[in-house]
């Protein structure tokens, strides 16, 4: 027997720039999303009036502008994709053993970065976030390997 269980909340959700009280009609995380459809978008209420933000000047809550609402939705969607790209699956064996099929979030990633002197350095990371960060800021990776000051 195989059943779908909760999504894996390994990756941190980035904090919202806007201090929002979101009334979006989506759960905070796709706890019940089946593994086979991790990329499927959940319903989103497009009414900007249902999203409030704390005004940077007055400090008061007010309805979001269209731009603020869209930015929040974009950020929410990104966060949800990072949090629950796939769900683990529980495993059972007649012997009483229990297990789980993991997800790509558990992968070890090999990354190679060309150094300023043209040489290549190869690194192993244990999360996609770390690997992607290394790709985006390869000079930082080089610095971590051999600091210059």
Q: How far is the CB of 142 from another protein (least distance, A)?
A: 8
What residues between 128 and 147 interact with another protein by CB under 8 A?
Answer: 128-135, 138, 141-147
Q: How far is the CB of 79 from another protein (least distance, A)?
A: 16
The reply on whether position 6 binds another protein by CB under 8 A is yes
Q: How far is the CB of 66 from another protein (least distance, A)?
A: 32
What are the CA-CA distances from residue 22 to residues 14, 16, 66 (Å)?
15, 11, 14
Residues 125, 111 contacting (CB under 8 angstroms):
yes
Taking Cα atoms as reference points, which of 24, 40, 136 lies closest to residue 75?
A: 24
d(CA 149, CA 12): 31
d(CA 104, CA 9): 13
The reply on whether position 95 binds another protein by CB under 8 A is yes
d(CA 2, CA 114): 44
- State the binding string over 96-125 for another protein (x if CB under 8 A, else -): xxxxxxx-x-xxxxxxxxx--x--xxxxxx
Q: How far is the CB of 77 from another protein (least distance, A)?
A: 19
Q: Which two tokens stand for residue 118?
A: 């043209």
| Closer residue to another protein in complex, CB, 26/90 | 90
| Closer residue to another protein in complex, CB, 41/140 | 140
7 beta partners: 87
Residues in contact with another protein by CB under 8 A are 2, 5-10, 35-36, 87-91, 93-102, 104, 106-114, 117, 120-135, 138, 141-149
């Amino acid at each position: 027997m195989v059943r779908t269980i909760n999504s894996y909340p390994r990756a941190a959700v980035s904090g919202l720039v806007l201090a929002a009280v979101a009334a979006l009609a989506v759960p905070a995380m796709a706890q019940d999303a089946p593994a086979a459809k991790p990329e499927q978008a959940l319903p989103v209420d497009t009414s900007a009036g249902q999203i409030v933000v704390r005004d940077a000047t007055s400090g008061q809550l007010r309805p979001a502008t269209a731009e603020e609402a869209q930015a929040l939705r974009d950020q929410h969607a990104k966060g949800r994709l990072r949090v629950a790209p796939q769900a683990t699956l529980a495993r059972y064996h007649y012997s009483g053993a229990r297990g789980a099929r993991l997800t790509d979030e558990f992968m070890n990633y090999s990354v190679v970065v060309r150094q300023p002197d043209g040489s290549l350095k190869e690194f192993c990371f244990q999360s996609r976030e770390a690997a992607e960060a290394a790709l985006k800021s390869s000079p930082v990776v080089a610095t971590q390997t051999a600091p210059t000051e």
